[in-house]
Every structure is written in C-alpha cells, then in structure tokens.
Structure 1
C-alpha cells in the first residue's frame, strides 16, 4: 500500500517563498507510483492542504490530519521542506515527535541547536571545530563599538543569529557602518553574532544519511560577483557554484572529515549542508543548515547529482530512512 506523505512548506520566516519552491520540487519529483504526496502549507495565518487545483482545506493541528469530503486523511510520514522557523528550529520536529509521526529532518534538539549559530559553534569548539572570532549581542544589550571591533576587527560580518538565506547579514568595512548593520540584523532576530572576516575559499558540504550510512557529498566551491554570498548571490544568479570544488587533496579530505565529524558529533540524521571557509588546508565552520534548499538549482541537489543520486532517489531515501 502506498504511504501518505505530507510535504510541509512555507513557514514563519523571510524564507517562506524559498521554502514553497523547495516543497513544490519535492512534490514534483516524489515517485507517485510509490507515494501519495500532499502539499501542506504552513504559515502564521493558517495550516492548509493545497490540492492539485490549488483549493485549500484546513489541517487539524490536534492530530495533523485533513478531512477531504467524507474521508479522514492521516499521514505516514512528513517531508520537511520548511526553511527557517518552525521547520528548521525544532518546533515542527517536537510537534511530530509528540504525535508519533515520522519526519525526514533531524530531531528537535539538533534542529534547535544548529539553527542557533552561536550555540552550535560554542558546542563544537571543544571538539576542535575551528570558527571565526565572534562577538555576541542580544536585543537591548549595551553596545560598545570599540570592544566589538577590538574582538573581531575590520572588515567583519554582522549576522542575525537565527536566520537563513543571508537575511539580516552585512559586511562592515568601517566603524561608522557598524550600527546600521546591527540594526539590520536585529530586524530579523533578537540575537546577533558579529564575526571576524575570514579571507579564504568558501565551500559548502552536504552530509546526509543514505541507505543507513552517513554519506558526505561532493564539495561545492562558491564564487560570487557580490561582496559575499548574500541573498542575490544565492537566488538571483550572482554567484558561481562549482561542484566538485577545485581543492587540493588535503583541503578536500580535511573539509569532508570535519563535515562528517560535525554530523556525527551532533547525532544528526536526514539532510544537512555545512558552510566552511578554507584558509590554507584548514576549514573554519560558519554554520549548518538542516533544511537546505531542495530546488533543481540548490546546492545539495547539485552535490547529490555529482554523487550519482537523482532527486527522485534523494527524496525517496529521505522518506525510507524516516520510516525505518
């Protein structure tokens, strides 16, 4: 009997539209001979099932079911395609754990931890995972620009601590630019992280659970026409993504080893995509995404194709792993 799969997409953050694109790609490529796929739109205003004619039916949040005519639809598994909150910060994972519904993403603790950049990097530091020098601020803190710049130097990056797709991020070259960058980051989150600039090669590494084992995918090198890998570079074609990355054997081995080490330390499962800056042969970690982009052009699907894994197989494997 075919399994009923809910593909959740949308979310509460600035990544809503990007998530809808990812979810629709999963819906498109999921093998309909093996699965009954249903698109579920999650937003602050409503949770709805969207049928083929774009009609909406409400989702019962008490048990995550949908009534279609006289039929009660329940789901065997949830495919999580929500970037940002509540799909990448642990809220949906905890919800499905309470309901006993399998899902394709990591567990709620790992999702919450990895979504918080500064907590993630602090957790990994004792394990020898290198990162940039950083300075933390919470909304309402007294700000000392001199102390910040003494710690991180110039140029530096100001980031929203819990946001994706480069929303709320600025590269700061001069002290007088710092406050505007801080204000921009606080528009996305009430916690920010200010990091020293790492002058090296930016790479992205997908690590997934595939057929019961941890698999490190081919590394992607990121080259952008912009000042850094911002929203325009990610989604509006102002970057070049080279897979596999043009690295020395030592750089490749060190980066893949660190990416797998992080995945294993955190007891991850499902999809992940970790970002590093390579300085010489040393990878410095920036962040980990546990619900990475899943469109045809997204980095993790690019890497999977280079590893010989097409989108139908990639998505089917995620569901199979979740059900097992």
Structure 2
C-alpha cells in the first residue's frame, strides 16, 4: 500500500520562492510506486492542499485534508520550507505533538542550527573551527568601534536567523557598517557580525544512508561577487566545482568534520555544512538543515556526481524518518 507523503513548501520568509522550486524537484523525483505525494503549502495566511486547483484547507488539529468526502492522513512529512517555520524547529515541534514523522532534524536541533550565532558557539566549544562573531539584538548593542576593534575589517553582516543570503553584506569600510546592520535588521530579528575569513569556500552535503552517515562530494564555490550571495546561489553568478580542487588529505578532513558535526549535533535527513578553508583548516560558516533541492541547488548536483539518484535519496530520508 502506498504511503501518503506530504511535500511541504512555502513558509513565512523571503525564501518561499526557493522553497517552491525545491518542492517542484521533490514532486518530480519521488518514487510513485511506493509513495503518493501530496503538495501542501504553508504560508502566514493559510495551510492548503491544492490538487487540481481545489485549494483545500489543512486541518491543523491533525494535519489531515478532506478530499471528495475522504480524509487524507499523512504517513510522513517531507519538509522543503527554507527558513521559518520549516527550518527553525517550529514545524518540527508541531509534528512531534501530533505524531507525524518528518524528514529533517528534530525541533531542538533545528532551532539551534537556525541560530547561526549560538550554533557556531556550540561548535566552537566542541572543538570545531568557526569565525569570531558578535550578536546584535538591537542596532545599538555595540558601537562601530567596538565591532571593528574585535572583528577588524572587512567583516560580514547578516541576519542571525535567515538563509539564502537575504540581508547579508560584506563590509569593507567603517562608514558602511551601520548601513549594513540596518539592512540586516530588515530581514531578521537578530543580526550577526562575523570576522572575514579569507580562503577557499566549499560546502559538503551529508545524510544518513540507512547504514552510516554519508558525506557527499565536496563542492568548491567560485564567485566574482563579494561572497556567495543570492545572485551567486540562484542566478548563476557563480561557478561550482565538484569535486573541490583541494588535496585528498583536506578532502578527507572536511568529510570527517562534516560527519562528526552530523553525529554530535544529532542532525537528520539531508544537510549541508558550509566552510571557508583558511590556512588549510576548514572553518565552519553555517549548517543548512533544509538545503535547497531546486535545479540551481548544490545538494542535488552532489548526489548526482556520487551516482545517487534523487529518487533514491528521497526514499532513504523518508524510510529513516518513519523508522
């Protein structure tokens, strides 16, 4: 008997448009022999199931849908919401309450990893190299001088609780710092200011394949932009080189680090860890627990290079979720 899988897209943030593209990929690649996929869209206005334009409201009491007199109940939620509420633990906590398994990290781990500042402080305490940073809960928490004295220039300013590089900027001169902070606060409730790490940017996808934590090939990011911003990620303004042009020794070091992070933080499903390699040391930038699945996204390309079909990948994370 086919399992009913809710493919959940949308969200409350600017990343919704990316989520729609990710869901398109998932819907095209789910094994339709084993699963019956139902696309559910969650927005700040409503939760709907929209088969053939019927626009049916989801019952939030048990996450069911009434279709043609029959109630559809879901065996698993495949979450592809980037940002809140799909990546910050809110949706995970909801599914825990009503007893529906899901394909991402649990709500506690999701909450931690979505908070860039606290996640990196935890990683730092566990011995992983991370950039120095300051957390701003209001625009006046630190003076420009205090920030620059601690982090130096250039530095990065970005929302502490956002993704896809919305609101992120590289600051090279003191007179641009306050403007960058103000801009970041328009995209998030907290802002993180990080030291600039000069080096090679790479990213490493990872998942549990049913037997072990399995790092995917490492991708090197080369962009003419100041950093791997939205245009670089989604508008083709970057070159992604897989496998990355790094030594075998460094490749193994990064994969080992990714695997260790996955295990120590209790990650689940498909995740991605971003690094800057500085002085031959991989420094963690951030962890993505719901990485993009669109045609432009990196993780599906990593899987393809490894010879892992998306159908097999999605089947694996569903089967692990329902165990």
Q: Give the TM-score category using the shorter length.
A: over 0.9
1:308 is displaced (CA, Å) by 1.2
Please say if 1:211 is aligned against 2:210: yes
Q: Which runs of 5+ in 2 are unaligned?
A: none
Q: Deviations over 1:247-286 (max 9, x none)?
A: 0122212111111111111011111101000013200000
1:89 is displaced (CA, Å) by 0.1
Question: Who is 1:185 aligned against?
Answer: 184
Please say if 1:9 is aligned against 2:9: yes
Q: After TM superposition, list the pairs within 5 Å mapping 1:251-270 onto structure 2.
A: 251-270=250-269
Whole-angstrom CA distance in 2 between matches of 1:204 and 1:54: 38
Count of residue pairs brought into register by the alignment: 323
Q: Deviations over 1:91-143 (max 9, x none)?
A: 01010011110111110000000000011011111211111121111125443
Q: After TM superposition, list the pairs within 5 Å mapping 1:227-246 onto structure 2.
A: 227-246=226-245
Q: Deviations over 1:287-313 (max 9, x none)?
A: 000000012331111111111101111
CA contact (8 A) 1:161 1:193 kept: yes
1:55 is displaced (CA, Å) by 2.8
Aligned-residue Cα RMSD (Å) equals: 1.0
Question: Who is 1:25 aligned against?
Answer: 25
TM-score, length-scaled by structure 2: 0.98
1:28 is displaced (CA, Å) by 1.1
Whole-angstrom CA distance in 2 between matches of 1:134 and 1:122: 9
CA contact (8 A) 1:250 1:281 kept: no
Whole-angstrom CA distance in 1 between matches of 2:284 and 2:63: 37
TM-score, length-scaled by structure 1: 0.98
Q: After TM superposition, list the pairs within 5 Å mapping 1:148-297 onto structure 2.
A: 148-297=147-296
Whole-angstrom CA distance in 2 between matches of 1:309 and 1:270: 15
Whole-angstrom CA distance in 1 between matches of 2:141 and 2:248: 46
1:264 aligned counterpart, secondary structure:
helix
Whole-angstrom CA distance in 2 between matches of 1:234 and 1:217: 19
> Structure 1 stretch 113-122 or stretch 243-252: which is displaced more?
243-252
Please say if 1:305 is aligned against 2:304: yes
Question: Who is 1:84 aligned against?
Answer: 83
2:53 aligned counterpart, secondary structure:
coil
Question: Who is 1:63 aligned against?
Answer: 62
